[in-house]
Amino acid sequence: MLTNYTLKTPVTHNGKTYTELTFRKPKTGDMMVLDNFKGETSKMVALLAAISDVPLPAFKEIELDDFTAISEVVAPLLGEPAPSTVSGSTS
């Protein structure tokens, strides 16, 4: 299962511009990486970066409104119910 999200504000890191992110279901190894982070927000950012194959420094540059929308869009991938409405652009 994959979920796409188009950023309202693209992010550039190391010469690459990220405009659309594709998220996959997490694997066990993705969850293990979270042990290296403290705080729920840091863990969520690390997980979202991992399941979108976006470098963590690039993912940290995503604006808060995009981050909030991404968190809602990927909820079904994380075993949570999908929200009834999501602001942002998904495909």
pLDDT in tens, 33-79: 899 999 999 999 999 999 999 999 999 999 999 999 999 999 999 88
Give the model's confidence band at 89: pLDDT under 50 very low, under 70 low, under 90 confident, else very high: low
**pTM across the whole model:** 0.85
Q: Which residues form the domain of 32?
A: 2-90
How confident is the model at residue 88, as a pLDDT? 53
How confident is the model at residue 80, as a pLDDT? 80
The tally of domains found in the chain comes to 1
Whether the per-residue pLDDT at 83 is higher than 80: the answer is no
Note whether 5 and 90 are within 8 A (CB). Answer: yes
Whether the per-residue pLDDT at 81 is higher than 80: the answer is no
Exposed, middle or buried by CB within 10 Å (0-12, 13-18, 19+), for 84?
A: exposed
Q: How far is CA 28 from CA 12, 60, 72, in A?
A: 29, 22, 21
